[in-house]
């Protein structure tokens, strides 16, 4: 139930590796591939999307690789997943591109909407910075929406 695709998962793990080089050291694909055990070809596909989305930039030539385009604290998990998997839409009814004619009379619409908001709040709150710090996320749950800092 509610599975995240490997593309999204690999994407976050790749971004973590790139974040480790922040702000100076370019991290090349081979290094990411080896550390996270994901094929180079598949990573190329993933990193390409993330680059076009402006989350990372690339440096060519020997010694090149990928660099974070922003501070780790400014890149949320949501940012990454959005590019790789499209907008969060628990149901097709909630997908702007699909929509649903039953919305007005549907008894579950608000339920799924609330669940989506719950997930979105969480993913918006957690950033690469949190991953770098090795947080446990135990207390993220209820504080996510408070807007204030999050307990470690």
Partner DNA sequence: AAAATACTTAACTGATTTTGTCAAGTATTT
Partner DNA sequence: AAATACTTGACAAAATCAGTTAAGTATTTT
- Nearest distance from C-beta of residue 15 to DNA, angstroms: 14
Hey, what are 18's tokens? Answer: 């790139």
- Nearest distance from C-beta of residue 81 to ligand FES, angstroms: 15
Q: How far apart are the C-alpha atoms of 113 and 116, rounded to whole Å?
A: 5
Which of 36, 47, 35 lies closest to 83 in space, CA to CA? 47
Residue 136 interacting with DNA (CB under 7 A): no
Region class of 2: left (phi > 0), else alpha (psi between -120 and 50), else beta: left
Identify whether the C-beta of residue 19 lies closer than 8 Å to the C-beta of residue 131: yes
Near a second copy in 60-89, by CB under 8 A: 77, 81-82, 85-89
Binding residue for DNA, selected from 26, 35, 53, 88, defined by CB under 7 A: 26
Hey, what are 106's tokens? Answer: 């549907």
The contact set with a second copy (CB under 8 A) reads 1-5, 8-9, 12-13, 16, 37, 77, 81-82, 85-92, 102, 106-108, 110-115, 117-119, 121-123, 126, 131, 134-138, 140-142, 144-145
């Amino acid at each position: 139930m509610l599975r995240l695709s490997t593309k999204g998962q690999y994407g976050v793990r790749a971004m973590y590796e790139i974040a480790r080089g922040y702000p100076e050291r370019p991290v090349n694909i081979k290094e990411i591939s080896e550390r996270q055990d994901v094929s180079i070809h598949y990573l190329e596909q993933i990193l390409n999307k993330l680059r076009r989305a402006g989350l990372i930039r690339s440096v060519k030539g020997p010694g090149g690789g990928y660099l974070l385009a922003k501070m780790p604290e400014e890149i949320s998990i949501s940012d990454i997943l959005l590019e790789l998997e499209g907008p969060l839409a628990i149901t097709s009814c909630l997908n702007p591109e699909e929509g649903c004619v039953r919305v007005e009379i549907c008894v579950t619409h608000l339920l799924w909407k609330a669940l989506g908001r719950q997930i979105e709040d969480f993913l918006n709150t957690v950033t690469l910075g949190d991953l770098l710090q090795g947080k446990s996320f135990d207390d993220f749950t209820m504080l996510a929406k408070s807007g204030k800092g999050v307990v470690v």
